[in-house]
Structure 1
Amino acid sequence: MSAGGGTKAIVAALLANVGIAVTKFIAFLLTGSSSMLAESIHSVADSGNQGLLLLGGRRAKRRATPQHPFGYGRERYVYAFIVSIVLFSVGGLFALYEAYHKWHDPHPIESWHWVPVTVLVAAIAMESFSFRTAIVESNHVRGKASWTQFVRRAKAPELPVVLLEDLGALVGLVLALIGVGMTLITGNGLWDAAGTAAIGVLLVTIAVVLAVETKSLLLGEGAEADDVARIERAITEGPEVERIIHMKTLYLGPEELMVAAKIGVPAWETAAELADGIDAVEARIRAALPVARVIYLEPDIYSAARARAGGDGAAGSAAASGTGASGERSGN
């Protein structure tokens, strides 16, 4: 996923939400509408979330250290998870609390009747611009995946987070407009409370979805099936490898995949020939999948008889355990 595209979408969402938050707060102060207060807090939370995503992207670019030898790429997942917590607590739970309070003490909008409707319509226009930017940037990288697949499978968290936040913001604005509109028409403040409650339920739902998806990324996800197949073809299409004994992949960050494989190789005459063969396989893997930046290949002599006996087919206990003369080379 393009980091530049994600940053562009985040900045667009941040600018929109700051402007929207200010206008909503003014509308709340003039009218006392709980829907406007809930939407104000929602916009403030979204603005903070976009700031967190930008901070996470910046911190993830730090160089690897002895304590963190694989770098800080996963820090983007950490900040995306914090975003889901902020959205759940500051946005969703506050809206539900405000709805509960307003339901037990309903009162109509008694002055500045035109302000909340005007503000909400203007906010819908600004939020639509932000949402359009996120859609355009996402279309550059999602390929043929559906929107649901894109949100669930994307390894870079920024665009899915902004997409869900903007979608939630637009739906929330419509719910607020309905609540405020019905309150103005009927003079019954319970409509305002109902709109606020609907906004709270919406934000909590989106926050839970974000938390589940980012939790999976934090735990560590491997490459998708199509990418695994490309790696396997790259390994076995040359004469250097007879077969893959076993292989694992792991995303160290949104744009850095680790590939670790034990491979069955011919009986090379010299170590130099073996090293050249491994280098050739690494080059093919990177050509097939550029995001595969950390590669560990462990060469071994495959034994069909050992495989039938229940082992992994590796000849020799030292190589099978990854110790001693395993021949492992790092493509880092």
Structure 2
Amino acid sequence: MSAHASKRALFAALAANAGIAVAKFAGAAYTGSSAMASEGIHSLVDTGNQLLLLFGMKDSSRPADASHPFGYGLRLYFWGFVVAMAVFALGSGVAIYEGAEKVAHPQPIENAWVNCAILIFAMLLEGSSLLVAMREVREECRRRGTALFETIRTHRDPTIFAVVYEETAALAGLVAALVGVILAVVLDKPALDGWTSIVIGLILAATSLSLARQCYVLMTGTAADPTIEERLREILARVKCIEHVNEVRTMHFGPSEVLVLVSADFANDTLAGTVETIVSDVEDGIREEFPEVRRVYIEAQSSTRHVEALEDIGEDVDALEREEDEEAA
């Protein structure tokens, strides 16, 4: 997914959340609703998160240098993790605290219709922001040929899945807040407004933990889309000089930066010049089909020596072979 698409989703979310935060805080001050105040905090945190992700995009786009030979792409995952912690500590923590205070000291909501109007307005803005992000996800679905939820779960760009997670949680929180305000007024039980705030806090906690887990996996080094490895093996299988592909490993160094390492057993009578030509052709072919592949390293190594090398560094060769057989099946 292009950086332009990611920025478009972020700016849409930033504009929506900034406007909603102002409206929610104004509504909370006017009506005294705890749920509305929690929702205002939620939107304010989301606004700050979008700014953090925009900074992360800029930070991670720095070119490679001597100290970071593969670039700074992994930093975007760090900032995504920071966003997840911000949602948890600020959004969830403050919402639950605010709700507990309101449950302990309930106060009637004044002019509840104002809250309802603001919440419905917020739903429209949050929904439009979510649609922008989901449009990018659907494009990725078509490109990868995977289902919607699978694409979101395995997406490598935190600027996209963070917006999807946040906006989905925001809509859920808005629905909870609207229901809570209505019930608190209709049933004349102001404490329900506080319980609603606690529910919103729990929604944010669940969202932040899911987001943190996904960023953690990406921060610690994750393989690229299996489609890349499958396609690369298909290309290598057509090369007559390659007797066996020992191993293919991939790793993301950012949403659109993939490193590919290949160990291949070439026929013993293959000339060095032929190997160089094959390597160049394979690199060009895989990059043309998958632009996110920035670097391809192909090592000429006998199958026997490859196994010995893996054993020397303590890797379970049998386990790797089983994984390859399962992927092939």
Tell me the TM-score normalised to structure 1 length: 0.88
Matches for 1:180-329 after TM superposition, within 5 Å = 180-268=181-269, 270-302=271-303, 311=308
Name the structure where helix makes up a greater proportion of residues: 2
Q: Report the number of matched residues.
A: 309
- Counterpart mapping for 1:58-137 below 5 A: 58-109=58-109, 111-137=110-136
Q: Residues 241 and 270 of structure 2 are in contact (CA less than 8 Å); yes or no, is this contact kept in structure 1?
A: no
Corresponding residue number in structure 1 for 2:175:
174
Give deviations 1:244-273, integer Å, cap 9, x for gaps. Answer: 122211111111111112111123464333
Deviations for 1:42-83, whole angstroms, at most 9, x for unmatched residues? 000000011111111111111111000100111111111111
Output the CA distance in 1 between the equivalents of 2:284 and 2:122.
51
2:242 aligns to what SS in structure 1?
Answer: coil
1:241 offset after TM fit, Å? Answer: 1.8
Q: Which residue of 2 aligns with 1:326?
A: none
Counterpart amino acid of 1:121?
I
- Which secondary structure does the structure 2 equivalent of 1:187 belong to? coil
Q: Is the 8 A contact 2:92 2:201 kept in 1?
A: yes
- Call closer, same or farther: CA 1:268–1:127 in 2, change over 3 Å: same
The aligned counterpart of 2:12 is 12
Distance in structure 2 (CA, Å) of the matches to 1:123 and 1:16: 8
Q: Could you say if the C-alpha distance between residues 184 and 286 of structure 1 is closer, same or farther in structure 2, counting changes exceeding 3 Å?
A: same
Q: Aligned to 1:141, what secondary structure does the other structure show? A: helix
| Mapped partners of 1:66, 1:37: distance in 2 | 48
The answer on whether the counterparts of 1:76 and 1:157 sit within 8 Å (CA) in structure 2 is yes
Distance 2:117 2:303 in 1: 72
> How far apart in 1 are the matches of 2:299 and 2:204?
48
Give, in whole Å, the separation in 2 of the partners of 1:113 and 1:247: 61
Question: Structure 1 residues 236-245 or 64-73, which shifts more?
Answer: 236-245
- CA distance, structure 1, for counterparts of residue 85 and residue 273 of structure 2: 53
* C-alpha contact 1:27 1:116 (8 A) present in aligned 2: yes
Structure 1 residue 312, shift from structure 2 partner: 6.8
SS at match of 1:207: helix
Native 8 Å contact 2:140 2:151 kept in 1: no
For residue 302 of structure 1, report the CA deviation from its aligned partner.
4.5
Corresponding residue number in structure 1 for 2:2 = 2
Residue 205 of structure 1 deviates from its aligned partner by 0.3
| Shift in alpha-carbon separation, 1:187–1:302, aligned structure 2, 3 A | closer
Q: Which residue of 2 aligns with 1:150?
A: 151
1:156/1:29 CA distance change after superposition, 3 Å:
same
Aligned mates of 1:301, 1:287 — CA distance in 2? 28
Partner Cα distance (2:194, 2:225) in 1: 44
Structure 1: distance between partners of 2:283 and 2:124: 50
Given that residues 24 and 36 in structure 2 are in contact (C-alpha distance below 8 angstroms), is that contact kept between their aligned partners in structure 1?
yes
Name the amino acid aligned to 1:33: S
CA distance, structure 1, for counterparts of residue 287 and residue 242 of structure 2: 16
- Matched residues in 1 for 2:86 and 2:298: separation? 42
Q: Flag the structure with larger Rg.
A: 1
Instruction: Calculate the TM-score normalised by the size of structure 2.
Output: 0.89
Taking the aligned partners of 1:267 and 1:145, their CA distance within structure 2 comes to: 40
Residues 241 and 284 (structure 1), Cα distance of their counterparts in 2 relative to 1, 3 Å cut: farther
Counterpart of 1:320 in structure 2 is none
> What's the RMSD between the two structures over aligned residues?
1.9
* Residue identity opposite 1:294 in structure 2: R
The answer (yes or no) to whether the contact 1:245–1:312 under 8 Å persists in 2 is no
Amino acid at match of 1:283: D
Is the 8 Å Cα contact of residues 92 and 202 (structure 2) preserved in structure 1?
yes
Give distance in 1, aligned partners of 2:102 and 2:73: 44
Deviations 1:71-108 (A, max 9, x none): 01111111111110011111111111111111111111
* SS of aligned partner of 1:188: coil
How far residue 5 of structure 1 moved from its aligned partner, in angstroms, is 1.5
Structure 2 counterpart SS, 1:5: helix
Structure 1: gaps of 5 or more residues? 318-332
SS at match of 1:297: strand
Judge which range, 245-254 or 268-277, deviates more.
268-277
How many angstroms apart in 2 are the aligned matches of 1:97 and 1:228? Answer: 48
